[in-house]
């Protein structure tokens, strides 16, 4: 028996199944819309994170350069001080304690700088871990996009199957007219179907409730 039967010829169970399928199509459309919004939010968040990381990287590079310059400067100062200490030690032994103190102070500064450099290296590793986490989140986003595309394909397949069932139902004729021309209006549909405007308008409103059409004044578009 052909599956392309008029709705009046369907059994009650088939009509119920058809109604469930129509509701399922509407629900899937809502799910896909929510997923699309979530993907856009993730893309926006990812762009924001990338901008923040770029700014942090720039700051890190400037700070590293500044510290390198400071290390070089301190190293030069240290060399100068050591040279002076050695010279003074030969001349005035009594002042050796004072110069040793200065040397210790310089060593303390060097150790402080080394600690800062180590802290910056640790911070850099943390940033790399953050980038890796963002990359992982991006991969998850791509997987979600793939899932959404798959659901869209399934939706199209279900829609085609649904259309084959309702093709001969006169109540769905406005949907096929609008689908054929991309968009239409009440007057054009009225002329095509040969029905009164009030009847056509009610049919379009019913199809709008089912999520198949969308009215904008007298203009009718696919939902």
Q: List CB contacts of 41: < 8 A, sequence separation 6 or more.
A: none
**Under 8 Å between Cβ of 102 and 81:** yes
Q: For a pLDDT cut of 90, what percent of the chain falls above it?
A: 22
Mean pLDDT of the region 75-91: 80
Q: Tens digits of per-residue pLDDT, 14-47? A: 888 888 888 898 899 889 888 988 898 999 998 9
The pLDDT of residue 156 = 62
Q: List CB contacts of 75: < 8 A, sequence separation 6 or more.
A: 110
Q: Tens digits of per-residue pLDDT, 92-137? A: 787 778 778 888 888 989 998 899 888 888 887 898 888 888 888 8
The pLDDT of residue 196 = 94
3-state secondary structure of 214: strand
Q: Give yes or no for residue 203 having a pLDDT over 90.
A: yes
Q: Give yes or no for residue 195 having a pLDDT over 80.
A: yes
Q: Tens digits of per-residue pLDDT, 130-161? A: 888 888 888 887 888 778 777 767 666 666 66
Q: Give yes or no for residue 4 having a pLDDT over 60.
A: no
Look at 7-11, 115-119, 215-219 and tell me which has the smallest mean pLDDT: 7-11
3-state secondary structure of 137: helix
Report the alpha-carbon distance of residue 93 to residue 204 in Å, rounded. 106
* Domain annotation for the chain: domains and CATH numbers: 7-166 (1.10.287), 169-223 (1.10.10.10)
Q: Give yes or no for residue 215 having a pLDDT over 70.
A: yes
Q: Tens digits of per-residue pLDDT, 67-81? A: 888 888 888 887 888
């Amino acid at each position: 028996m052909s599956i392309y039967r008029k709705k009046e010829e369907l059994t009650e169970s088939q009509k119920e199944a058809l109604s469930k399928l129509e509701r399922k199509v509407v629900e899937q459309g809502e799910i896909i819309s929510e997923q699309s919004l979530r993907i856009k939010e993730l893309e926006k968040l990812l762009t924001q994170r990338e901008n923040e990381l770029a700014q942090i990287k720039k700051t890190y590079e400037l700070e590293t350069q500044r510290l390198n310059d400071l290390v070089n400067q301190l190293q030069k100062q240290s060399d100068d001080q050591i040279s002076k200490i050695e010279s003074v030690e030969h001349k005035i032994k009594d002042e050796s304690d004072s110069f040793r103190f200065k040397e210790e102070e310089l060593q303390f500064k060097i150790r402080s700088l080394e600690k800062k450099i180590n802290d910056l290296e640790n911070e850099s590793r943390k940033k790399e871990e953050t980038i890796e986490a963002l990359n992982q989140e991006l991969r998850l986003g791509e997987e979600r996009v793939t899932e959404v595309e798959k659901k869209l394909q399934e939706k199209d397949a279900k829609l085609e199957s649904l259309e084959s069932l309702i093709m001969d139902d006169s109540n769905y004729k406005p949907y096929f007219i609008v689908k054929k021309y991309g968009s239409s209006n009440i007057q054009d549909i009225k002329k095509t179907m040969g029905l009164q405007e009030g009847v056509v308008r009610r049919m379009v409103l019913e199809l709008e409730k089912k999520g198949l059409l969308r009215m904008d004044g007298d203009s009718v578009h696919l939902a």
